[in-house]
Amino acid sequence: MTISCSESAADLIIPVHNEYARTRNLIEGIYRYTDTPFHIYVIDNASSDETAEMHKIYTRDITIVHNRESRGWTGGINQGIELGRNPYVVFLKNRVEVSHSWLGNLISFLDTHPRIGAVGPLDSNRRDRQSVDRVREEIVPQIPHFLTEDIHERNRILRYHFPRAGVLVEGVLDFFCVALRRRTIGAVGLLDEDARDGNSNRQYCRRLRESGYVLGLSLDTYVLHDAGPAESTRSRAEFQESASGA
């Protein structure tokens, strides 16, 4: 397969183990709602369900790698990073659902300053640090209270109030959906595959900061995130951030 690269394209890396329906739902949303050139890397960690046959369904802008043994989510991310060539890299979990312009919005805020090392979206899960409700309560009270549960309508409202805008944060980002530049990863290195589950994002955010980068939230990007039972509830104390417009 020939993989085209461009100066504005992103490699979207999705490590998976089973959960075929969730993975298909995410991929379908990417194809439908992404406004920026991309190439998807599905890293199949020894799935035993229909995931093993996914290459028969999707052939456009996608590479599906079937590992005989699981490398875990972090190992799958590193595998995708090493396979890709595009200037932007996005880590994704298959429990995410995206909406209109999600990728372009993340990259737009990422590109507002070269020292922004990683950018995440607002999301639906109250347990996450960047839950839209928690961010409204703790950082940006100007975020409107939604009268709809529809992901696309919520995105439309956020784009109206915060077009191409974001905030810098002092805490860490959850890595269910996060965008970085490839040159940033080149400077900081790959994720630590020896880190305990749930700690790889904290360690990597710390390494980004130690390398002189800052972290950001895109205020006009909202995704659904259905955290699985393996993703532990995070303490509110982990999300103590002071924000500045960027």
pLDDT tens for 203-240 read 999 999 999 999 999 999 999 999 765 544 343 333 33
pLDDT at position 198 is 65
9, HSE (Cβ side, Cα atoms, 13 Å) = 15
Taking only Cα atoms into account, the Rg of the chain, rounded to an integer number of angstroms, comes to: 17
Q: Which residues are CB-contacts of 232 (< 8 A; sequence separation ≥ 6)?
A: 198
Rounded average pLDDT per 10-residue block, the chain, 246 residues: 72 97 97 96 96 91 95 96 98 97 97 97 94 96 96 96 94 95 98 81 96 98 82 39 40
Please give the structure tokens belonging to residue 200: 């790889």
Using an 8 Å Cβ cutoff, are 29 and 2 in contact?
Answer: no
Using an 8 Å Cβ cutoff, are 16 and 23 in contact?
Answer: yes
pLDDT at position 194 is 87
Question: Which residue has 């093993």 as its token pair?
Answer: 52
pLDDT at position 117 is 98
CA 37 – CA 44 distance, rounded (Å): 23
Q: Which residues are CB-contacts of 169 (< 8 A; sequence separation ≥ 6)?
A: 139, 215, 216, 217, 241, 243
**H/E element holding 77?**
helix 72-83
CA 246 – CA 241 distance, rounded (Å): 15
Q: Which residues are CB-contacts of 189 (< 8 A; sequence separation ≥ 6)?
A: 207
Using an 8 Å Cβ cutoff, are 121 and 216 in contact?
Answer: no
Please give the structure tokens belonging to residue 112: 């507002």
Write down the architecture of domain 10-245 according to CATH.
Answer: Alpha-Beta Complex (3.90)
Hey, where are the domains in the chain? 10-245
3-class DSSP assignment, residue 5: coil
pTM reported for the whole predicted model: 0.90
pLDDT at position 246 is 44
pLDDT at position 235 is 34
Q: One-letter amino acid identity for 189?
A: G
pLDDT at position 105 is 97
